[in-house]
Chains A and B, each alone.
Chain A
Amino acid sequence: MRSSQGLLQLIGKVSYKRTILHNFKFINIAYNSQRRNYASEAETTAEIHKKVPTKVFNYTYDTYPHLKRNPNFKELSPSDIKFFQSILSSNEIIIDNGNNQDDLLPYNIDWMKKYRGKSRLVAKPKTTEQIAKLVKYCNENKLAIVPQGGNTGLVGGGVPLFDEIIISTNNLNKIRDFDHISGTLVCDAGCILEVLDNYLAERGYMVPLDLGAKGSCHIGGNVATNAGGLRLLRYGSLHGNVLGLEVVLPDGTILENLSTLRKDNTGYDLKQLFIGSEGTLGIITGVSILTPRRPKSVNVAVFCLNSFQNVQEAFNISKGELAEILSAFEFWDINALRMVKHHLFQGTNLPLEDKYPFYVLVETSGSNKEHNEEKLHNFMEILMTKGVVEDGVVAQDNTQIQNLWLMREGIPEAGSKSGSVYKYDLSIPLPVFYNIVEDMGNRLKDAGIFGKDKPVTDVFGYGHVGDGNIHLNIVAKSYSPEITKLIEPYVYEWTAKYKGSVSAEHGLGLMKADCIGYSKSQKMISIMKQIKQTIDPNGIMNPYKFIL
């Protein structure tokens, strides 16, 4: 390393070592900066968008002209602004003054730049009480609201469609309490997932969910959308891990139920209604969540397989051989791998050859290193001797673990670098799991729009085999109604035919607001509408979305 002595004297030994090693593992840097692209400390979204050269993004209502503003909602008036200013300090509010569109844009547009609204006011309160006052006022004045967390959603649920007021949880980010014995964490809704995880890491615990956007997504948003992610297989969904919530209801009431009890069979479990309600029933302001101990020993292996049949077989064997230490079972196909290779592994070695149709990442987490490694080795031996896998690699250190994960976690990023991505997040029974990718590819080929130099350049699948959840991605040169018409409603009908779900973990948002019928019966939908009517009679909470 050049002038290492100078560096040593200059910045001290510890940072010196970091410098070397960060150079040394340059992939790792790429990996971290990848994450930081849509992930970092508070205000990230704003910072990222500021870096984006001012390009004109269409308003969602221009792209989809059939969407009409509800005339029952009031438009923002100077007196409304005055009221907001009486509740919020100057750095807790952004008001449209005619020439600060750049300040508003990060809140008005989603990170994929697919949905853009035209809100004129962003409120960033620091306390639940402020939110309660704001919401009460909005309800009395019929001003529509969009609750917004880290703005990392994929279905346009967290950004306005027209002029809804944005209430962001950016400043609501205090950790309230942590119990070292029970592992229950109580915190504000605007805490960033990764910040919470780092806080818990110092105490030997971890958050029970992990997803690509963890550097910017807020725990409140995770709960409001019932986010799934990479570790659902091991720790279960938020419906199980959330012990209590604090919610501001549309009339401004604070529904305080930040219980830390694991068992509580008294009455209807109201918190469950808000988990996955996508901000249509109120604003989650506080979360009480059960956190598991951080595993002492983590191993990651990636395998290459020749058929999806073998992927299922490997999953089956993993459940038997790895059992309680299995913490993730993820898959991707060769098209996804080639894209990741092209965008994220340039100038560096891909850990595996890109010549097999399927790849699987298996992660084990446990408390005893020797025990876990022995299990993993037995598992690998069975896979090899049975001929289920063709090849594979096992991470030897944490950097390799990160690089193997990058092959999986980097897929959405690589996808968005390749073009405009149509993303479908489906739950599909395992036996026909991968067929949707093949059927969709053939359908687009038959229509003559998929191939080299055609409007659609790539169709690939990846996702959580362990949870029966596939992400079908279609990369186009640009979003166009013609392509959309070929994909939808075909993809939803296909999913309904196999009794799958049209939204496994991304939610309905704006994108799938009219699609719930593919996965839920009319009777169920009508009860849902009654619930919405009861809790939010004026319909001010996140309108135009979720259930139409």
Chain B
Amino acid sequence: MSNLKILVGCKRVIDFTVKVRVNAQKTAVETANVKHSLNPFDEIAIEEAIRLKEKLGGDVVKEIIAVTCGPSKSQEQLRTALAMGADRAIHVEVSDESYPKLQPLGVAKLLKAIVEKEKPNLVILGKQAIDDDASQTGQMLAGLLNWPQATFASKIDINGESLKVTREVDGGLETIGSKLPSVITTDLRLNEPRFATLPNIMKARKKPLTKFTPQDLNVDITPRLETISVTDPPTRKGGGKVDSVDDLISKLKSAGAL
């Protein structure tokens, strides 16, 4: 294929190094004043799109479009994607109030609408977002579009219209073949994302960013699932020190381990 157009998903999530806290109402985790970053699997997706463009050349990969569905602050993550090397960005703005209720099906429908508008022939998404760990959006999008899907990719080869994807499965690797257009979701070992360089960060600020709302796209994002409560995992009980081997043995015995 000489006209490859790649759409890449970018979700804004709480940075993985942050210790998440459940809010006082026990309805969600605390997101205010917490460091957010690009979902690491989406970062891998962007890196892969850029590598495809570098490998196949700009004549083949015409354009890489980064897309996010989220509140206005999600634009930071789009700028990151642009600084890494995406050509332009689309922001489907979801209000701060309705964003916590946005679910994979809603996102998949929004992405379907963008796909119909932009007509990409490859969509690369992270296999899951590290906040809700749903791992559903890519599969749902493929279903809605009636496209083939290759999930959990650890290696991607494109040759003309045909696609060869290696997947990490229990017990080893599985290689599958498919045709474009297609949806791919990325696994951990697909690549190692690059750092955004200074000149590219400067350029990214001038790259085009288009905004839509779900209404513009005629998509209903009403939640289908209800979160009943969010709770912390049980705290780990601290261990104790023993003074001698005898002490250890007697403790083990009293605990019924010996």
List chain A positions with a Cβ less than 8 A from chain B: 1-3, 12-14, 17, 20-21, 23-25, 91, 296, 301, 303, 348-349, 351-352, 377, 380-381, 383-384, 389, 391-400, 402, 404
Contacts and interface: CB of A to CB of B under 8 A. Distances in A.
A484 B88 CA distance: 58
B192 A17 contact: no
Given A23-B188, A296-B33, A399-B17, A351 B195 contact: yes
A380 B80 CA distance: 16
B165 to A, nearest CB: 16
Given A381-B202, A396-B37, A349 B197 contact: no
A394 B198 contact: yes
B196 A393 contact: yes
Interface string B177-199: 00000000001100010111111
B35 interface: yes
Given A2-B171, A21-B16, A377-B201, 20 more contacts: A1-B168, A3-B170, A12-B233, A17-B130, A23-B188, A24-B188, A91-B243, A296-B33, A348-B192, A380-B202, A383-B198, A391-B197, A392-B198, A394-B196, A395-B195, A396-B80, A396-B196, A399-B15, A399-B40, A404-B195
23 contacts: A2-B169, A2-B171, A14-B233, A17-B133, A20-B130, A301-B198, A380-B198, A384-B198, A389-B198, A393-B198, A394-B83, A394-B195, A396-B37, A396-B80, A396-B83, A396-B195, A396-B196, A397-B35, A398-B16, A398-B18, A399-B15, A399-B17, A399-B40
Interface residues of B, number: 32
B251 to A, nearest CB: 17
A16 to B, nearest CB: 8
B233 A397 contact: no
B205 interface: yes
Interface of B: 15-18, 33, 35, 37-38, 40, 80, 83, 130, 133, 152, 168-171, 187-188, 192, 194-199, 201-202, 205, 233, 243
Most buried by B among A21, A23, A303, A383: A21
A392 B197 contact: yes
B66 to A, nearest CB: 13
Given A2-B170, A91-B243, A398-B35, A24 B40 contact: yes
Given A1-B188, A351-B195, A396 B40 contact: no
Nearest to A27: B192
A73 B174 CA distance: 73
A395 B169 CA distance: 32
Q: Which 5 A-B pairs rank lowest in CB-CB distance, beginning with the nearest?
A: A397-B37, A392-B198, A398-B17, A393-B195, A351-B195
Contacts of B199: 384, 391
B118 to A, nearest CB: 25
A397 B83 CA distance: 13
A48 to B, nearest CB: 19
Nearest to A347: B192
Given A24-B40, A398-B35, A303 B198 contact: yes
Nearest to B192: A349
B188 A20 contact: yes
A395 B35 CA distance: 13
Contact of B187 (A1, A296, A303): A1
A3 B194 CA distance: 28
A469 B209 CA distance: 44
Nearest to B243: A91
Nearest to B233: A14
B194 A21 contact: no
Nearest to B169: A2
Nearest to A20: B188
A377 B196 CA distance: 13
Contact of A399 (B16, B198, B205): B16
A400 B198 contact: no
Contacts of B168: 1-2
B99 to A, nearest CB: 18
A280 to B, nearest CB: 34
B124 to A, nearest CB: 17
Nearest to A399: B17
A25 B37 CA distance: 14
Contacts of A394: 83, 195-196, 198, 201
Contacts of B171: 2
Nearest to B41: A24
B201 A380 contact: yes
A231 B254 CA distance: 50
Contacts of B40: 21, 24-25, 399
